[in-house]
């Protein structure tokens, strides 16, 4: 069974002091009451990465980033190379989030190229997929997700897939357990079809308004290997509750 992982995506929120305080609260709680059998990753804004890495200071919590460029260097003003992330201690990177696809016009090919470069630099890519409300209502959810898997995941992919229905991100509306169960089963079948036996062990996370109240029911769903948490990860108590909701073996 894959090790569960809880990833906090802090998005474009807070200043340095906020991130440091948040990390201190999370690591102090986990040191006092460890959670065995689960990985925890926090993904602060780029400007906080180095400081957060210093604050984590050998704790059990890993550092992730929210994006990277497909190239490792070059004339790309405002972008961040994968090696720059590992240089400041990052081990994971979120790629293809629906907000990047929407706000920056990222397409599957771009996400795939980033995933290749991230893995080459030693990062674990967390690739996001998910349907919009219109696609869901028109019965195109599975087709959309299937094409995203095919287009966004490179050959030999060994990272993590995060299923985030776009209509549930930041809305307070999480998919029902039955919806998640059926969609994750479809994702698993697609991964096996694309990657063969290797697709059986790729971790699938759920994201989209995960909070302390629904985490236990979501994380108990077969084949859900963790959560990609947005707003709730900005609140240490809520994030810790989600971490502690991971089922014990």
Q: pLDDT tens-digit profile of 19-76?
A: 999 999 999 999 999 998 899 999 999 999 999 999 999 899 999 999 999 999 999 9
Residues 6 or more apart in contact with residue 40 via CB below 8 angstroms: 5, 6, 7, 8, 26, 30, 60, 61, 62, 243
Q: What pLDDT is recorded for position 58?
A: 87
Q: pLDDT tens-digit profile of 91-102?
A: 999 999 999 999
- Whole-model pTM: value is 0.96
CA 169 – CA 146 distance, rounded (Å): 20
Catalogue the active-site residues.
97, 164
As a whole number, the mean pLDDT across the chain is 95
């Amino acid at each position: 069974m894959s090790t569960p992982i809880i990833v906090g995506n802090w998005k474009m929120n807070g200043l340095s002091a906020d991130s440091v305080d948040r990390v201190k609260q999370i690591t102090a709680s986990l040191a006092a009451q460890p959670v065995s059998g689960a990985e925890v990753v926090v993904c602060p804004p780029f400007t906080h990465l180095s400081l957060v890495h210093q604050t984590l200071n050998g704790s059990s919590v890993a550092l992730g980033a929210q994006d990277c460029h497909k190239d490792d260097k070059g004339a790309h003003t405002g972008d961040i190379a994968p090696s720059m992330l590992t240089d400041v201690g990052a081990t994971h990177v979120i790629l293809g989030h629906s907000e990047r696809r929407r706000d920056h016009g990222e397409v599957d090919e771009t996400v795939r190229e980033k995933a290749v470069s991230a893995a080459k630099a030693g990062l674990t890519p967390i690739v996001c997929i998910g349907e919009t409300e219109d696609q869901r209502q028109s019965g195109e959810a599975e087709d959309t997700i299937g094409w995203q898997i095919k287009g966004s995941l490179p050959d030999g992919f060994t990272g993590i897939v995060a299923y985030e229905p776009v209509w549930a991100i930041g809305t307070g509306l999480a998919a029902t357990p039955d919806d998640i169960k059926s969609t994750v089963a479809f994702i698993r079948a697609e991964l096996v079809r694309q990657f063969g036996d290797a697709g059986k062990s790729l971790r699938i996370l759920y994201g989209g308004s995960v909070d302390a109240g629904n985490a236990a029911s979501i994380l108990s769903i077969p084949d859900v290997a963790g959560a990609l948490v947005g707003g709730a990860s900005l609140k240490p108590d809520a994030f810790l509750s989600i971490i502690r909701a991971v089922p014990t073996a």
